Chain A
Amino acid sequence: MTGVKVREEVTDDAVDRELIARWLGGDQRAATMLVERHATALARFAAAMGGMSGSDVDELVQDTFVRAFNSLESFRGESSLRTWLFTIERRLMLDRRRAERRRPEKMPVAEGDAASEYTALDGIMADEMQERVRVAVDQLTALQREVFTLRVTEGLSYKEIADIVGSTEGAARVHYHHAMRAVKEYLGVPHA
């Protein structure tokens, strides 16, 4: 993908920067527009990582925005706002997972609860292929799952993904290809 102008990142970033400037200038509507632009992607990423109910996802997305807006004045724009938001969200997710692990008692989750809640939230009945993909993704390592999900659900570049997960562009590419190979193997799709 090197040297290929794939998407309109410049325009997207420029819009975000303008909205940030407007919000810092006191325009509350700019905050609504920023949330509308990125909340869906953040929610999808959180849901894809698994282990969260719909309300957990909602709360996580809200916390991500609150944390981002609290330090929006210090946002230097070295990465895109979207990448920065994903980075914050990922850190919050990791904190919550650690907190979950520290809990002495963990309520057992009934089989099928997550799936039923998931479909209730998104309103879409998953077909067999999608369900199998979810199972395959669940079997990936945490880092592979993050890279694969950010790539196929958001179309983020390897550079953006590397910024989010704190890795290099090359490493992100390798993680994605390993994840894709594993998913294909699970699905029985020949890898070529």
Chain B
Amino acid sequence: MRDCQDDRIKDLLPEYVTGRMGSALIAQVEAHVAACPSCAAELAVVRAAHAAFPAPQVNIARIVQALPKPVIPLAPRVVKRSRRFTSWRVAATIATIAVSGVSIAVLQGILTDKPPVAHKVVVKTTEAPEASGLSVGGNLNDLSEKEMQTLLDKLDELDAVPSAEPQPAVSGMRAAAGVQ
């Protein structure tokens, strides 16, 4: 048998037999095989081999029944748990402060039977102004220039804050122990 001069066509015979070929190529293959005994012989073998292995019956329904069910992805949940918790805490703090403030105001109002306003503190002294040289009573605005100066001078003389540093505890302990 004369060798085929077009191996390309011989290589396409399985596609031709199995029907996996476009119509344009089918015409080319058929034209070639009609004139080529070598390819015609091989085509007969391919056809016989294709027919020799027919597909056994398969139970499609049983196969489908055995398949796993698709896992449908759920819509992604936006979880802002920590943020929500923080917001809640801020809100709770503000509410607590507000309630506390109102409660104190109400309580003060009940106790004084007055609206909770700033109190005017009046300090009265039993001593005569002349004896102490310091008179604090009523409103400072009521004082004359001279009285105000006197008051400031007296305040300067007061040594309310001790100027000396406190002795360290160690020296006290030494003294107690009789150590020089």
- List A residues at the B interface (Cβ < 8 Å): 1, 4-8, 23-28, 31-32, 35-36, 39-44, 47-48, 54, 57-58, 61-62, 65-66, 69-70, 73, 118, 121-122, 124, 126, 129-131, 133-134, 137, 148-149, 151-155, 180, 183-184, 187, 189-190, 192
Complex interface: chain A residues within 8 A of B58 (CB): 39-40, 42-43, 57-58, 61
Give B residues with C-beta under 8 Å from A.
Answer: 1-4, 8, 11-12, 14-15, 17-22, 25, 38, 41-42, 44-46, 48-60, 62-64, 66-72
By the criterion CB–CB under 8 Å, are A8 and B22 in contact? yes
Residue among A5, A25, A28, A65 with max Cβ neighbours from chain B (10 Å): A65
Contact B70–A26 (Cβ < 8 Å): yes
Across the interface, A57 reaches (CB within 8 A) one of B19, B25, B52, B56, namely B56
User: Given the complex of chains A and B, what is the CA–CA distance between A31 and B62 in angstroms?
Assistant: 12
Q: From residue A85, how far is it (CB to closest CB) to chain B in Å?
A: 12
- Asked if B68 contacts A153 (CB within 8 A), the reply is no
- Assess the B63–A61 pair: CB atoms within 8 A: yes
The smallest C-beta distance from B127 to any residue of chain A, in angstroms, reads 96
Partner of B3, one of A54, A137, A192: A192
